[in-house]
Amino acid sequence: MPSIDQLKNRARSLSDHEFEQIAWLKELTADERAHVRAEMLVTVVEPGDYVVRLGKPVSYWFGLIDGLLKMSNDDSRGSAVTFTGVAPGGWFGEGTVLKHETYRYNIQALRTSRVAGISVEMFHWLIAHSLGFNRFVMYQLNERLGQFIAAREIDRLNDPDLRVARNLASMFDPSLYPGVAQMLRITQQELAYLVGLSRQRVNEALKVLAAQGWISVEYGGLRVLDLNALRFGELPSAPTKTTTKTTTTM
């Protein structure tokens, strides 16, 4: 497994197409975009590779161009807990960059992914010079707060079908993950890693959600049909089985 320094060493400049896929760049002036373009790098990470490691000092602000990542805690003291998935278009770690802290979580690739990044110095240059970037970061932090409040609520759900629904809704958030749109490229096993259920149980949940008309399961991924229902909808209770008592007379 390559170290983070090794991932940096094999990074390259972005292509025009890759650069145009980054949604927050539209908030910058032409001069600011050119300044960022001169420094921004992209690298490829394979399944199991770490993009950031818990306890390591922050050096870059990262975003996912395509692929799938997961945010989790350290598993050295017990079972790892997955906090959230990172879907295409998502940029993460701005709070850590702003405070110059060490990372409090791991970011690991679930599939082959392309990850872009700008240095901490570039991030703070944008904070100092770009009103548009400041607006974006403020909005991003607010959305992230809402995401983690929702995650706490999801942890309390006893219904596995709703757990899957709420986790999917968080990954279809158009503000945090503009690269997803209506179609999320994800396998049932990858979703199981993120939700904390078995693949078989996730499969059952997807059938329930599809039957409700909230999603459709398609080749290579899932399409959202009713995002509001995934976020807030309730599922009908399973019918209660009744037994008929037979009285025997002597």
**DSSP structure string for 85-146:** EE-TT-EE-HHHHHHTPBPSSEEEESS-EEEEEEEHHHHHHHHHH-HHHHHHHHHHHHHHHH
- Whether 13 and 96 map to the same domain: the answer is yes
Q: How many domains does the chain have?
A: 2
Given 94, 123, 151, which residue is the final one in a domain?
Answer: 151
> Which pLDDT score is estimated for 181?
79
The model's pTM: 0.82
For residues 200 and 217, membership in a common domain is answered with yes
| 191 and 85 in a common domain | no
Are 143 and 91 within 8 A, CB to CB? no
* 3-state per-residue secondary structure call for 172-207: CCCCCCCCCCCEECCCHHHHHHHHCCCHHHHHHHHH
Range of the domain at 219: 158-232
Angle ∠(5,18,62) on CA atoms, nearest 5: 40
Instruction: Report pLDDT for 247.
Output: 39
Average confidence (pLDDT) over 206-228: 93
CA–CA separation, 51 and 36 (whole Å):
20
Asked whether residue 32 falls in the same domain as residue 58, the answer is yes
Q: Both 77 and 38 in a single domain?
A: yes
Q: What confidence score (pLDDT) does residue 242 get?
A: 44
pLDDT for 199 equals: 93
In a shared domain, residues 70 and 177: no
- pLDDT tens for 143-156 read 888 877 776 676 67
Q: What percent of the chain has pLDDT over 70?
A: 86
Residues 26 and 99 in one domain: yes
Query: Residue 250 falls within a domain, yes or no?
Result: no
CA angle (69 as vertex; 64, 70 as ends), nearest 5: 135
Is 147 within the bounds of a domain? yes
Q: Do 34 and 138 belong together in one domain? A: yes
What length is written for the chain?
Answer: 250
Same domain for 52 and 128, yes or no, is yes
Alpha carbon distances (Å) from 231 to 32, 76, 143: 36, 33, 14
Q: At 1, is the pLDDT very low, low, confident or very high (cuts 50, 70, 90)?
A: low
Are residues 99 and 138 both part of a single domain? Answer: yes
Q: For a pLDDT cut of 90, what percent of the chain falls above it? A: 61
Residue 75 above 80 pLDDT?
A: no
Q: What is the CATH number of the domain that holds 87?
A: 2.60.120.10
239 domain-assigned: no
Give me the chain's average pLDDT, please. Answer: 87
The answer to whether residue 106 scores a pLDDT higher than 50 is yes
Same domain, 119 and 33: yes
C-alpha–C-alpha distance, residues 5 and 157, integer Å: 39
Residues near 17 by Cβ (< 8 Å), separated by ≥ 6? none
pLDDT value at residue 69: 95
Supply the pLDDT for residue 246: 41
Answer yes or no: is pLDDT of 250 > 70.
no
Tens-digit pLDDT profile for residues 178-201: 888 788 889 999 999 888 889 999
Q: Give the model's pLDDT for residue 9.
A: 80
Residues 91 and 205 in one domain: no
Report which residue type is found at 73.
Answer: N
- Whether residue 247 is contained in a domain is answered as no
Do the domain assignments include residue 192?
A: yes
Taking residues 161-166, report their average pLDDT: 91
Of 60-64, 71-75, 91-95, the one with minimum mean pLDDT is 71-75
Q: What is the pLDDT of residue 216?
A: 95
Domain presence at residue 71: yes
